[in-house]
């Protein structure tokens, strides 16, 4: 099997944890490095959650490197109201059995890319702060990045404001830099992630799989369902449906036929008083500008659920061994 080499850049967070579940469950992926940044929570919490979760699933040999603590130019905003004060709802995974790398994330990404045998895909499920900093400091890495698969943005409707998605809103300057870099980008925005949902009935089935891991996942996701349903920009049915946004950024790489999208020119609003962080997708293709982002907008939900649940089963069995 020819594996897909990837670097994961994340900010765990509940849905980042589920993204890591799928990533480490699939044999198609060769995970070279995990980098962490502030986003859903401050970096001390996202770093701890990453080390704790990877220790729990027995993946403590992967390098975890710590990145930037704040957005490029904005005041930091986090999402403890959604993910809980510790970032994982009420779930505790494990005391970390390993420590973060001595290499900072930007150095680790640079050295990993420049010594790779083939171009590497970067999977980014938080603000694009680390990736933007890498491209700004080391533009020579661009030929060594196959593509960036990012969970963030939205073509229609936001969750941080009426028009802006969280990852884009908290660091729009980073998004703008990445989108203008010339590196191919896949955008799994709210347009597709809102369709990649799990019902409460399906989550109840998950909790009865019999593994400690599945029970913890169900507990964590039920917390996530409640907090998502309380936010002002979410639809009423969110109390019945769980959105695991970040999983899409991995799923679209391993099972691309599950998703539908198209290439569009996308730019980011940086200064708008009411629209900061909005990702403006030229759906009508009237700007005449060359498309710079592959925007996903639809998903085969049944296939997505099978993929996600299979990953939870795989990791649950691995832990039990």
Q: Which helix (H) or strand (E) holds 317?
A: helix 301-320
Q: Which helix (H) or strand (E) holds 111?
A: helix 105-114
**pLDDT above 90 coverage of the chain, percent:** 72
Supply the pLDDT for residue 230: 47
| pLDDT of 236 over the 60 cut | no
pLDDT (tens digit per residue) in 248-293: 999 999 999 999 999 999 999 998 888 999 999 999 888 999 999 9
Model confidence, pTM: 0.94
| pLDDT of 317 over the 60 cut | yes
Closest CA to 126 of 153, 90, 151: 151
Q: Which domains are seen in the chain, by residue range?
A: 4-194+245-297 (3.90.245.10)
pLDDT (tens digit per residue) in 176-185: 999 999 999 9
Supply the pLDDT for residue 10: 97
Instruction: Round to whole Å and give the CA distance between 194 and 298.
Output: 9
Residue with tokens 């603000």: 127
DSSP conformation class of 141 = G
Selecting among 83, 245, 294, 297, the annotated active-site residue is: 245
> What average pLDDT is seen over the chain?
91
pLDDT bucket at 221, cuts 50 / 70 / 90: confident
Supply the pLDDT for residue 31: 98
**pLDDT above 70 coverage of the chain, percent:** 92
Instruction: Round to whole Å and give the CA distance between 46 and 94.
Output: 14
Closest CA to 127 of 71, 176, 180: 71
| pLDDT of 29 over the 60 cut | yes
Return the HEC string of 249-265: HHHHHHCHHHEEEEEEC
pLDDT bucket at 42, cuts 50 / 70 / 90: very high
Instruction: Round to whole Å and give the CA distance between 146 and 220.
Output: 33
| pLDDT of 227 over the 80 cut | no
Supply the pLDDT for residue 68: 96
Say how far residue 286 (Cα) sits from the centre of its chain: 30
Beta-sheet strands, E only, within 130-196: 145-151, 185-188
Q: Is 245 a catalytic residue?
A: yes
What interhelical angle do 247-254 and 301-320 show, nearest 10?
100
């Amino acid at each position: 099997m020819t594996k897909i080499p990837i670097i994961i850049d994340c900010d765990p967070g509940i849905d980042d944890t589920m993204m890591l579940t799928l990533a480490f469950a699939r044999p198609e992926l060769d995970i070279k490095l995990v980098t962490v940044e502030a986003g859903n929570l401050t970096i001390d919490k996202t770093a701890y959650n990453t080390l704790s979760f990877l220790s729990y699933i027995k993946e403590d040999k992967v390098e975890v490197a710590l990145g930037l603590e704040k957005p490029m130019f904005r005041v930091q905003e986090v999402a403890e109201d959604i993910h809980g004060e510790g970032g994982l709802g009420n779930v505790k995974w494990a005391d970390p059995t390993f420590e973060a790398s001595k290499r900072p994330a930007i150095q680790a990404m640079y050295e990993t890319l420049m010594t790779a045998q083939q171009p590497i895909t970067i999977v980014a499920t938080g603000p694009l702060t680390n990736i933007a900093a890498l491209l700004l400091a080391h533009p020579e890495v661009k030929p060594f990045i196959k593509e960036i698969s990012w969970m963030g943005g939205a073509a229609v409707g936001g969750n941080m404001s009426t028009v802006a998605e969280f990852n884009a809103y908290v660091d729009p300057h980073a998004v703008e830099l990445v989108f203008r870099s010339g590196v191919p980008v896949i955008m799994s925005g709210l347009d597709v992630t809102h369709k990649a949902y799990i019902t409460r009935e399906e989550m109840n089935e998950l909790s009865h799989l019999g593994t400690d891991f599945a029970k913890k996942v169900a507990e964590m996701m039920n917390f996530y369902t409640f907090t998502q349903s309380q936010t002002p920009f979410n639809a009423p049915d969110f109390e019945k449906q769980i959105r695991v946004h970040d999983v899409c950024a991995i799923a679209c790489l391993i099972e691309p036929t599950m998703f539908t999208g198209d290439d569009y020119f996308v730019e980011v609003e940086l200064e708008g008083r009411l629209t900061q962080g909005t990702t403006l997708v030229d759906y009508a293709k009237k700007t005449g500008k060359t498309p710079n982002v592959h925007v996903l907008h639809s998903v085969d939900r049944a296939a997505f659920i099978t993929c996600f649940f299979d990953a939870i089963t795989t990791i649950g069995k691995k832990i039990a061994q």
